[in-house]
Structure 1
């Protein structure tokens, strides 16, 4: 056979072999949040949890109202406690099989392996946080709000511009602080606190003119904790889609799809709306700061 013909035949044969090898080669296995849920992986009570037969749920301490009541996440009272138990039930875990773990707010979405199955602690879903952890779908649409003492000049604010020259405070690592820095852009550096308790104390003592928190927390603060304060207003959504709280999971968690399925089911059947009405009904509307 002439050399040119032999070369052509070898090239064709090589291509066929490579194509066959490619067709038979195993696809890379997807991990964590990218791996679709299956009936087996999400079977009630059979998920791959941190502790077999248990569902470990993280949240911070103190556990604030109206998200929790009496600083006791395990009592099922408060919006987030109730949501956690509703998700657990969907996953096949009764209340007696739910174990609560104390997890500081910023630690919940920091890089690194997690010792909880999911964390629930008013953690907003964001692209930046998704680099370190996985999220369920959103279980609550939230707005950020401004709380000020009634005697403060901040109480007279009607627009975002009215807040530029007042002393503002917020908890570190929160979207509340992001709104202060990115939306208000105050002339004074904002006061930053490790916990909302410290921010509330600073407000009460006049160390700041106003603090920024999520809207339900704002109404709880003014109704039960700092009664000489008022909700000045809420910020418009700036992202084009609602800011949402999501359940936090380990970046590689095999539970993410199962937990998202549970949250979606609770939204679809009206459970989330019912729990919101029961536990967050006092968080009525507030003026929008333009």
Structure 2
């Protein structure tokens, strides 16, 4: 532990619903906040022993020492990232979706081939960027941004044509921040599996994994998913 007797957990800013509520990780509301407190209790920590802090999303999985015991903000588990940090077992899998302005011709796209003509914007060094580069392979250069908020703002400002997001984040930002955007469809593939991030070779990983396994076995994780991540409406599938 970074501080004896304390579980230090970091997250990004801003925080999106339904993962966190009111941009406040300490309130225990939202799927990831509630999950952290459930894990902490399973490991023998009281609520007061959980201390939250901020680390930028990209910095969470960069090489080097970390100021947190673990980090949680919808971080995708990927093989390249495993070279720099350790991950917990996955706690949720989410599909990727295409989002674009409601009045954009992108809304008529039904396949990856239809999407390749458009300008993509995305978060630098993210699983979204990898998916765009490796799977969609657009013809124009991809515009990358230091934060996901910047990438979304560029889309709203029509500096780019289209963006890739996880389903829940797309629904949240459309509902609360960018009502002029809409979900085009669900992209092919498994999407992404989310995990907690640890300093490389952290001895805490097996303890968190055991706590997570216990929450899976006793139904707590399923209950949290049902409470905070309701089943989405049907969206069209984007063909390969």
TM class, shorter-length: over 0.9
* Alignment-derived partner of residue 63 in structure 2: 111
C-alpha distance in 1 between matches for 2:133 and 2:154: 19
Could you tell me how far apart the structure 2 residues matched to 1:164 and 1:101 are? 39
1:274 paired residue number: 223
The alignment partner of 2:92 has SS state of strand
The SS at the match of 2:153 is helix
For each residue in 1:178-210, what CA deviation from the matched residue of structure 2 results, as whole angstroms up to 9, or x when unmatched? 111111100011111111211221121111111
| TM-score, normalised by the number of residues in structure 1 | 0.79
Give per-residue Cα distances to partners, 1:203-224, cap 9 Å, x unaligned: 2111111111111111112222
Q: Structure 2: any 5+ residue segments left out of the alignment?
A: none
Q: Hey, which bits of structure 1, 4+ residues long, moved more than 3 A? A: 282-285
Q: Is the 8 A contact 1:267 1:273 kept in 2?
A: yes
Tell me which of the two structures has the higher relative contact order, counting C-alpha pairs closer than 8 angstroms and 6 or more residues apart. Answer: 2
Distance 1:58 1:70, change over 3 A: same
- Pairing 1:163-174 to 2, within 5 Å after superposition: 163-174=115-126
Provide the residue aligned with 1:284 in structure 2: 233
Q: CA deviation at 1:282?
A: 5.9
* Alignment counterpart, residue 97 of structure 1, candidates 45, 49, 69: 49
| Equivalent pair of 1:153/1:209 in contact (CA under 8 Å) | no
How many corresponding residue pairs?
239
What is the alpha-carbon distance in structure 2 between the residues aligned to residue 285 and residue 266 of structure 1? 29
2:17 aligned with 1:65: yes
Kindly provide the CA deviation profile for residues 83-121 of structure 1, in whole angstroms up to 9, marking residues without a partner as x.
Answer: 111111111112111001101111111111112111001
Aligned partners of 2:70 and 2:232: how far apart in 1?
26
For the residues of structure 1 that align with 2:127 and 2:56, how far apart are their CA atoms? Answer: 16
> Which residue of 2 is the match for residue 135 of structure 1?
87
Q: Deviations over 1:68-92 (max 9, x none)?
A: 1111111111111111111111111
1:145 maps to 97
C-alpha separation in 2, matches of 1:215 and 1:282: 11
Q: What's the RMSD between the two structures over aligned residues?
A: 1.4
Q: For structure 1, list consecutive stretches of 5 or more residues without a partner in the other structure.
A: 1-48
